[in-house]
Amino acid sequence: MKILLHTCCAPCLTWFVDSKIDLVSYFYNPNLYPEAEFVKRYFTLKNYASAEKVPLVFDFDKSKTVAGDCSDCYEKRLRKTAEYAKKNGFESFTTTLLISPYQNHELIRKIGAEAGEEAGVKFFYRDFRDGYKRGRELSRQFQLYRQKYCGCEVSHDSTKKVTK
């Protein structure tokens, strides 16, 4: 049974693909700012997924934009992923955010579990951070666009919050 993998960007997906995890990539990131960055990240992912034959689902809800509140940001993205997983018969879901040493790992773990419980689908947790370095190597190898900030307007404007 395939796992639904919430995917923040192509570089963070590479390790999961390289590890031969049977997955469907789910792009739902209304946090991305500005629009040009959204488009850049999405098309980098789309081209990579297509080259690697990874099924990709695109979802968007403009009313759900967030800026600076990471808890709210994780919650919106993971809830939507859990709902999609439930609706489409996936046994479990998880997120590429768990590979990043720059994200709030424990908060993602907690919010993911809650989102899964609410939607009635299993949140697959593993600490994927040991794959981060390999993922960076792979994204260089594939010459993927690698962003310099997490995603939202606040992280874009902040010189301190360089999280990807």
Helix (H) or strand (E) holding 57: strand 56-58
Size of site (CB under 6 A) for ligand SF4? 12
Verify binding: residue 108, ligand SF4, rule CB under 6 A: no
With CB under 6 A as the contact rule, the residue among 5, 73, 115, 138 that binds ligand SF4 is: 73
With CB under 6 A as the contact rule, the residue among 5, 66, 85, 111 that binds ligand SF4 is: 66
Give the closest residue to 4 by CA, choosing from 77, 64, 62: 77
The least CB distance from residue 16 to ligand SF4, in Å, is: 19
The stretch near ligand SF4 (CB under 6 A) out of 42-50, 88-96, 117-125, 149-157 is: 149-157
With CB under 6 A as the contact rule, the residue among 2, 68, 105, 114 that binds ligand SF4 is: 68
With CB under 6 A as the contact rule, the residue among 4, 17, 70, 144 that binds ligand SF4 is: 70
Burial class (CB in 10 A: 0-12, 13-18, 19+), 84: buried
Q: Are 15 and 132 in contact (CB under 8 A)?
A: yes
Q: Are 139 and 18 in contact (CB under 8 A)?
A: no
Q: Which CB sits closer to ligand SF4, 122 or 129?
A: 129
With CB under 6 A as the contact rule, the residue among 12, 54, 144, 154 that binds ligand SF4 is: 154
The least CB distance from residue 73 to ligand SF4, in Å, is: 3
With a CB cutoff of 8 Å and minimum separation 6, the contacts of 164 are 9, 11, 100, 102, 146, 147, 148, 149, 150
Give the closest residue to 32 by CA, choosing from 43, 47, 17: 43
Q: Which residues of this chain interact with ligand SF4, rule CB under 6 A?
A: 31, 66, 68-70, 73, 150-152, 154-155, 161
